[in-house]
Amino acid sequence: MTASPSDPGARQEPYDLAVVGAGSAGLAGAVTASELGLSVVLLDASAQTGGQFHRHPAPALGARRPEALHHDWSAFTDLRRRLAGSTVTHLAGHHVWSTVREGDGTWTAHAVTGADGTAGRPARIRARTLLLATGAYERQLPFPGWTLPGVVGAGGAQAMLKSGLVLPGRRVVVAGSGPLLLAVASSLAAAGARVPAVVEAAGYLRYARAPLALLANPAKAAEALSHGAALLRHRVRVRPRSAVTEVHGTDRVEAVTVTRLDADWRPVPGTGRRIACDALAVGHGLVPQIELATTLGCATRRLPDGTLGLALDDLQETSERGLWAAGETGGVGGAELARTEGELAARAVAARLLGRRADEDRIAGLRRRRDRLRAFADVMSAAHAPGPGWQDWLTDDTDVCRCEEVTAGRIREAVTELGARDARTAKLLTRAGMGWCQGRMCGTAVSCLAARGGVPEPPAERRPFAVPVRLSALAALDEEPADPHPRTS
């Protein structure tokens, strides 16, 4: 069920489980826990379930076949059906900015409400256990011209199409690195955009280094072949080991320069070629969104592509007892892996809270599927890991931190002349990462520049606030009800 701000009263006792995030992992965790007899509350910033992967148009747009833009749509509709028939309290438009363990061992999730987090009173939801299914956000590597209108994230372009039924342009180059590029390009082409090229910085032959993981996941190969066939049908050229190293235009994107890269992602001199376009969809993989967990001190692990994911045990529990995580928080691996981990975590929570023996056959099956899919995810992560040479794309006047307008030259100066040796020091000296996005857009780039060619430390992602919060919301903490949206059956 979905709760509304007009629901009267307040729930005093804690829920058994609070799930943060209504994507594939969160939905699977919430409905499974509810079906096993737990009281569950599901919080999500969006007005609709599905997360980033299963974005879909608002009913007012009148889309007749939203499933045409999605892979694995039937799995999502099944979860949505189970949610509608469950006792789960779904709190849409709830942006969770902090989670706290109370003295009695329960958890409190603090949230601001509304489409942008500024409407209504702040909310405080209590639960005996917590499942974080907060997903991931796009990793961006800057290059000259990337701030021009018409440059959008690859995932952002897909979101525009899926949820708004609009294209970022009529002639769109898709660039960066990672399997998302193929899905984005095929979706844009199917929707009527002209896609001159898919520009992939890595080489697909890296997948061949792990044949066992490929053989164990034939559905992944079939999905890639499906996207490849769509690109062939629309005459989209794929350019591996290449990158967009400059965007041209005055008021908007007019063309891009595509340059061949060596094995370390350094531009090969003399190989730059211009491609005319009016939009560029670019992204270099995804970064697990783990701020809520790391602020609590949860242990992390370094992933093959250099990002950080949560360190989880065999049943998806973090290093903090009573706090589980599923989906992209442990490393990016796709919707099927997210659903598997969400169900596994929910069954582990139910077994602990209800004191009943878990369905060991089901648990064992979920763990085998999780391990198989996670192995492929690690292969994928390693195959598309950025090489150190990408920094050679940057001129000194290239903006790295868009929010604070900090250039690559200023960060290099902080390193070479002021002694910065890590991203935190560079941030203090230049303000890179202090803007509205809190370093999500520039964190990777600043870390790499501060490392001076060495192995960069991933951003620690420890922030007191996971989303922007108004002072009025903080001031109301002592006044807010325990739960403005009570659970009803």
Q: Which of 284, 318, 333 is the last residue of a domain?
A: 284
pLDDT of residue 67: 66
Strand partners, 153: 282
pTM: 0.90
The answer on 71 and 46 residing in a single domain is: yes
pLDDT digits (tens, 9 = 90+) for 168-223: 999 999 999 998 999 999 999 999 999 999 999 998 888 888 888 888 888 888 88
CATH at residue 408: 1.10.10.1100
Give me the pLDDT at residue 11, please.
Answer: 57
Q: Is residue 489 part of a domain?
A: no
pLDDT reported for residue 207 = 85
244, 277 Cβ separation under 8 angstroms: no
CATH of the domain at 99: 3.50.50.60
Query: Which residues constitute the domain of residue 443?
Result: 394-479
Q: What is the pLDDT of residue 486?
A: 46
Distance CA 307, CA 385 (A): 9
Q: CB–CB of 340/369 below 8 Å?
A: yes
Q: What is the pLDDT of residue 12?
A: 62
Q: What is the pLDDT of residue 203?
A: 85
Distances from the Cα of 193 to the Cαs of 4, 130, 173, 197, 258, in angstroms? 39, 42, 10, 12, 20
List the Cα angle 257/262/267 in 5-degree steps: 30
Instruction: Domain count for the chain, please give it.
Output: 3
Q: Residue ranges of the chain with pLDDT lower than 50?
A: 4-10, 480, 484, 486-489
Smallest CA-to-CA distance from 25 within 373, 293, 325 is with 325
Distances (CA, A) of 135 to 274, 383, 466: 35, 21, 13
What DSSP state is assigned to residue 252? S
Tell whether 188 is covered by a domain. yes
Residues 299 and 207 in one domain: no
Residues 172 and 277 in one domain: yes
Domain end among 284, 319, 342: 284
Residues with Cβ within 8 Å of 314's Cβ and at least 6 positions away in sequence, in order, are: 367
Cα 270 to chain centroid distance, Å, stands at: 36
Residues 266 and 279 in one domain: yes
Kindly tell me the number of DSSP H helices and DSSP E strands found in the chain: 13, 21
Q: Which pLDDT does position 68 carry in this prediction?
A: 66
Query: 218 and 334 in one domain?
Result: no
pLDDT of residue 4: 42
Residue 181 · residue 282 · CB < 8 Å: no
Give me the half-sphere count of Cα atoms (radius 13 Å) on the Cβ side of residue 266: 7
